[in-house]
Chains A and B, each alone.
Chain A
Amino acid sequence: MEWETPWVDDKVIVIKGEAGISASYSELSDEDVKENNIISIESVLPDELLERILAYLPIASIFRASSVCKKWNEIVHSHRFLQNISSISSQKPWYFMFPSADDSIGFAYDPMIRKWYSIELRCDGTSRWFIASSCGLVCFMDQNTRSQLYVCNPITNISEKVEMPRCSREFDYSGLAISVDRSSRNYTVAIVISKDTPDDFVQWILSIHIYCSEAMMWLSPVTETLTGWRGGDSCVVCDGVFYFLIYSTRGLGFRGNRHGLLSYNLSSRSSSGMLIDSFIPVPCPLTCGRLMNLKNKLVLVGGIGKQDQPGIIKGIGIWILKERDWEEVARMPHKYFQGFGEFDDVFASSGFDDLIYIQSYGAPCLLMFDMKMREWKWSQKCPILKRFPLQLFTGFSFEPRIDISP
């Protein structure tokens, strides 16, 4: 790796005389600087070391650095800097929060410096969206027309439109996931859609559609009729496998699991058995489940419900999938649960790396869980105001990357 090589420059000798000045920086006026003829720091720092300093900055500071001077602008946009920046992984996943009715204007939270930024996402219109994210790219699917999909980098605002195949436009339920290959930078979009069968509420037709950005092609490898189950909106791609939650379509009298997990290996070329054979039950009765990919491990954040009382949430748990079993990682302590005020049985949750965000739909409050430190923490208060009692909020997590584009 380039940065391991030490750099030696004879120019260091020239500034030897300046050693020993101890006046603090703020006390020096511009005149003092000119009089003492101090050579600018920047001229003696080689580009590699300057890049190293810039790579430690939070994203917003990197953008400001690009407007310091032409050289810094070149450095920030240089191939080498963009490649190296991802190896200094000091950036943490951000969270974009917005009022549900008005999707494009919201606030993005940088937990590294605990700051909210007002960012407008460039999507057409203000219709409602399914949203998924991976490795700096965010995918939006229009819930209304269902004909278009956008893949964009919300930080650099570069986006690309993808036309949806006709066969995927008619559905009752849909889930969207995206996966970016970190080396090739190609992305895969996976959609699971469910349609009910006429005259039979128990049987549903579930199909999976996959888009590959390299080939610019859609494939529809799987269509299966499920008895007693349908797909929903919670899904994620983790380590090359498309995971999605399924929901029971049996009546309220049904005593079994009301949620379950199915999976489909994206790299499988031939039909390797029925989807239903991959069924893994959920760890407890859930009110809602949110799937996420944390460092290539499948994590479930779920509202813990009562078997015989749907709609009642007792708490929120976090589980990680190990082989075919769920291992409990944490439960939200009661004080945080109460901190949300009113908490519906369904909520928004997403995350990356070691960070999970949890947000109640009823309020712009954001809770974070650090998987490594096993710590719960509120975010800095979001500047969005709740303008009327029934106003709803939602959001999604994404990795802030300046080096990736659709």
Chain B
Amino acid sequence: MGSQGGWGQSKEFLDLVKSIGEARSKAEEDRIVMSEIENLKRRITEPDIPKRKMKEYIIRLVYVEMLGHDASFGYIHAVKMTHDDSLLLKRTGYLAVTLFLNENHDLIILIVNTIQKDLKSDNYLVVCAALTAVCKLINEETIPAVLPQVVELLGHPKEAVKRKAIMALHRFYQRAPSSVAHLISNFRKRLCDNDPGVMGATLCPLFDLIAADANSYKDLVVSFVSILKQVTERRLPKSYDYHQMPAPFIQIRLLKILALLGNGDKQASEHMYIVLGDMFRKCDLSSNIRNAVLYESICCVSSINCSTKLLESAAEVTSQFLKSDSHNLKYMGIDALGRLIKINPEIAEEHQLAVIDCLEDPDDTLKRKTFELLYKMTKSSNVEVIVDRMIDYMISINDNHYKTEISSRCIELAEQFAPSNQWFIQTMNKVFEHAGDLVNVKVAHNLMRLIPEGFGEDNEGADNQLRSSAVESYLRIIGEPKLPSLFLQVICWVLGEYGTADRKFSASYITGKLCDVAEAHPSDDIVKAYAVTAIMKIYAFEIAAGRKVELLPECQSLVDELSASHSTDLQQRAYELQAVLGLDARAVESIMPSDASCEDIEVDKSLSFLDGYVQEALVKGARPYIPESERSGMSNISNFRGQVHHDSSTHGLRFEAYELPKPSGASRIQPAPLAASKELVPVSEPTYPQEILQPASVSSVSETGPTEFKLRLDGIQKKWGRPTYSPTAPSTSNSNPQKTVNGAPQLVVQGAVSSQAHDVSYDSRKTKVEVSPEKQKLAASLFGGWSSKTEKRPTSTNHKTTRVHSAAVEKSQMPTAAVASTEQAAEKESPQQPPLNLLDLGDPTPGDSTASIDPFKQLEGLLGPSDVSSVGNSAVTASKSADIMSLYAESPISGLGGTVANMAPTNSINLTSGVSNAANRNVPVGSASTQVAPVKKGPNPQDSLEKHAVARQVGVTPSVTNPNLFRDLLG
């Protein structure tokens, strides 16, 4: 209906859009937009603009902003429009503000009140509009203002409202986890909602919650498995089917959650075996959405404690992905392979050629993914090939972001697996040379630490060899132009430290080189500083060794230049150098010991060497030192400051009427002042006791518990108060477990994998025929490291017992799982079984009252309960068109016939095959939509003609430059 009868905007606006469309260059477009902005600026401030006109201005502002120009002068008008009573204007206002404002914009405070009002509206469309705005606009600070109302809306009769309310709460959780911490039971309850849309939405917040703390949700494993099972058995309304797949998006979310819950938990994983096995059973790569679900299943298998059989199925699907012609599937296959080899490195072996093909593919995306895979499977036997490949690729690309990433990966691998010092130094040189300053500074510092420390073996000889090979290679490179600054720093440092260590090169040679470096980079102060310090070290070592030192003339001029430098740092270094030259050998040796960069410098923090001096002074009558904490005045001040801060933390922005004076609770106060005092009060440590005392005394007074509203303010940033955001303190209960839970198992897995990679090796199979020898060689060098020893697989009997065991467990907990596990015969029976409640949560919720009836079936209406299980494929396609008709049957608007008819273009590129399949049949529709006559399907020339006519009216004609504007996107 959108395009029927013209576009509904004024001529002026259409002209604007048209002129932008016809602009030949970005400059021309910018010019048009600028003049439009001037125009709008003038017109929007005129008094008494009719509302309709204003609405159009707002949409024009959106347009201007969309094209990348600043329309902030009009934001306030969009905000005003949200206040309007008419839904038409309100909707436009909300649309504009959600597009204009980021969550921390100052104007948001002006909308909060409107949102509060609209959330209470009788009209559910108003509520929906407000909730959409809530998701975008409400920030940590304003969450408390709308939270109670959003929670209330979870019980709204309209599904759409419930769904949006859940998503809003999910957003709140992302912004400030503590704000919704007390609402977790609501999410659990909504999981049992009768509407699949609401249930599906609930999976979003649950996913985040489970990612933060999987252990508290282990009881839901059975429920999730049961929901997934029912979804795959097509128990959801057909309208959730997507390209003949039952509710795939919900399936994917469920699989993601199961992956989290089964991670490192054998018992939870066992519940999932059957349903996951079923996912792999129908494995054809025909439709993209099926592949998406299959891929997610592989991810789930690789994350949980999986059985051999599941791993085999997953590997099978992965190999089909890799064999596919589609780049997308190859990409997913490589990714899946990377996950599976963590469990069993053997899997990669049969795909070596596929992997190499991907590595040489012209598609950069695929190439990078493959490098990621190689990175995961690197070990000492193949590190040289892999790192060389990576460096070659790194040299060939311009994308700085990725260059940084791949260079740090190279360096990491080189440090971990380097077969020889020589190779290590060379690799580092290459990386530094080509990645230049993109290399992380830490990496350079690491290298500077690694060279003196050596590789950890107690072999001084090898370390010395490393150093001298580094020095040699650096001396070779140092003359090259355009070396990155970071690399030069490393070079200077190493030359200074070890340049003369093995007496191969003379001091004057090295210092000469260093002077050249400093001269060649007159604008780089850091390099100059490194160079002059290196020179100082060389001379110091010479002096300490008792040799006579003469400053080279170029050195002298460098020192002279630097002592007059603008940089005080350089000046100081130059003066230090001169001072060192004037000292005798003994003194120099103690201030500049050779090869001592790794020695610990002991710092006497208590300044005990001054004790004698202090004693002397005391004896002479000096006053003893009083520590800051013991000085009474000071502690009062800090106490006072703590008080002030504490006040500001409780009095932020308020959105509710003043409440009755009541002593406030203690629990919320404690953490905030602690964290904040570190910033505010210089003497933090000693004042702690007093600060804690403060809230403690309050708590002893309070008799009533903390009010709920106040609790939620924890950790919320005070925009207009002091900037005392302290996220860690109040939310520790949420965020800390997340880190430990997430981090720990991963570490365990990685550790296990790397040890496997080293210890267990496998036979390299013979490469297949018809493969170029070059590729074979590469394959052999990449994968050939595995030899003879094959990991013993768990025996099949073992596997069977686990299966039986898992079935037994499920049986005891839930009747349907048992049905499924007794293979196909039982599957046929299942429709006759009493329909199962989706939500077997064992938690007294409203959903449980309908335990004996499948909630989705009640909803369905269109198809009787027997249809659901028996109709099969025909029903799937049939329901599709049934959907269309029933949809429009409910909103009969003129001109709709054309829309529906034209919906399915005849030439069905596989994108729309689902739709067009449905369209090509005249399907008898279910009882709900019988009043709709079967609609003639196929392309409707009349409709496109109308559209073209409208377009021409506006002045847009298909021409050589824009022939595609009229083409159906789906056609």
Do the two chains belong together in a single complex?
no
A interface, CB within 8 angstroms of B: none
